A and B are shown apart, each in its own frame.
Chain A
Amino acid sequence: DVKVTQSSRYLVKRTGEKVFLECVQDMDHENMFWYRQDPGLGLRLIYFSYDVKMKEKGDIPEGYSVSREKKERFSLILESASTNQTSMYLCASSLGLKATNEKLFFGSGTQLSVL
């Protein structure tokens, strides 16, 4: 089975801190994604990457950046955390280049609280 591992299950940070959320997948998948999930808003796409060092903005990229230096690892960076970035963050990967053609495999999520 594909495993997508997110480094932290729960994280508490202070406003203004730089925050790194790490995600690793073990199946040599091409595509990786970062979503955030908030009550009543469903999942919203922040960034995705279809190759090493490549990245594309999703629907809500403001306040975030990403890094993909190795194929298996996709990092989400909050340059200066704010309280409105308190959320559940979900990482996902898929084998092929076109997300809607493929199964997405998700990690268990990181619940980030910014105080």
Chain B
Amino acid sequence: LAKTTQPISMDSYEGQEVNITCSHNNIATNDYITWYQQFPSQGPRFIIQGYKTKVTNEVASLFIPADRKSSTLSLPRVSLSDTAVYYCLVGWGDDKIIFGKGTRLHILP
């Protein structure tokens, strides 16, 4: 499993776009990049998964450059309810998922 590095915490304001970047220098050719979101007192929730370029769904966008050594989760027009911990994971074909410490995102009014 490739190791990932992401900021420990971030602050932003309601209505802004938030970008959380994850570094994964040792990503393997077959690896996908997956992001999970965890609200306080709940289990993590799958947000988005991608392999290259850009993926968008109703919750977020995921930007992956050509070298795939990093990725950026983009949350458009955040609200207070987006305050959560965001985990970046890299892998494919693994039996288990290892979660790091994630990025604690705090949205301010």
Contacts and interface: CB of A to CB of B under 8 A. Distances in A.
Interface of A: 4, 33, 35, 40-45, 48, 50, 56, 58-59, 90-92, 97-101, 103-109
Given A40-B101, A42-B100, A42-B102, A107 B94 contact: no
- Interface size, B (range): 20 to 34
Contacts of B98: 45, 59
A111 B103 CA distance: 22
A58 B43 contact: no
Contacts of B64: none
For the complex of A and B, 6 pairs with smallest distance between CB atoms:
A106-B43, A100-B91, A43-B99, A103-B46, A100-B94, A42-B101
A109 B95 contact: no
Contacts of B91: 100
